[in-house]
Amino acid sequence: MLFIREVVYMVQVILAKIESIERCVNRVKEIYQQGTLEEYLYQDALILNLQRACQQSIDLAMYIVSEKGLGLPKFSREAFKILYENQIISEITCEKMTGIIGFRNIAIHEYQNLDINIIKSIVENDLGDFAAYIKEILKDIEDFQ
């Protein structure tokens, strides 16, 4: 009986993290449509929500790796690699999600150096990467049950 509770809890945590990622991505889309990237208020709101989506994606990967006992990543990038090696996410998704770590690190540590064109490119071209990641995680949950 304890095992079922553990699985239910794990699924609840995963779904909560997915909901947070989706909320941030949707917020990015809303903000991008409403304002202009030349305005700092919109830049800050976009960057903050992108950063949150990135961090939640990393946290989700680390959580799954930990709960499934798949290893002990030393760096955030390794968590995505472990998910790929265990056929939870695809190689393409692994590469895309690993790439978000670079953006997150710049957003956190080198905010002043963030290029608006990079933010624009992410919003216009890469938000779907979060959806692909979520889809593959949900597929794994479905297979797990």
Cα 36–Cα 42–Cα 44 angle in degrees, nearest 5 = 140
Is the Cα torsion angle 94, 100, 24, 125 positive or negative in sign?
negative
Catalytic residue among 5, 52, 77, 109: 109
* Exposure b/e, 24-49, CB count within 10 A at least 16 = b: bbebbeebbeeeeeeeeebbebbbeb
Catalytic residue among 5, 23, 27, 104: 104
Q: Identify whether 5 is a catalytic site residue.
A: no
The single residue listed with the structure tokens 């930990």 is 66
Single-letter amino acid, residue 99? G
How many residues in the chain? 145
Q: Identify whether 109 is a catalytic site residue.
A: yes
Q: For residue 109, count other CB atoms closer than 10 A to its CB.
A: 9
* Residues that are catalytic: 104, 109
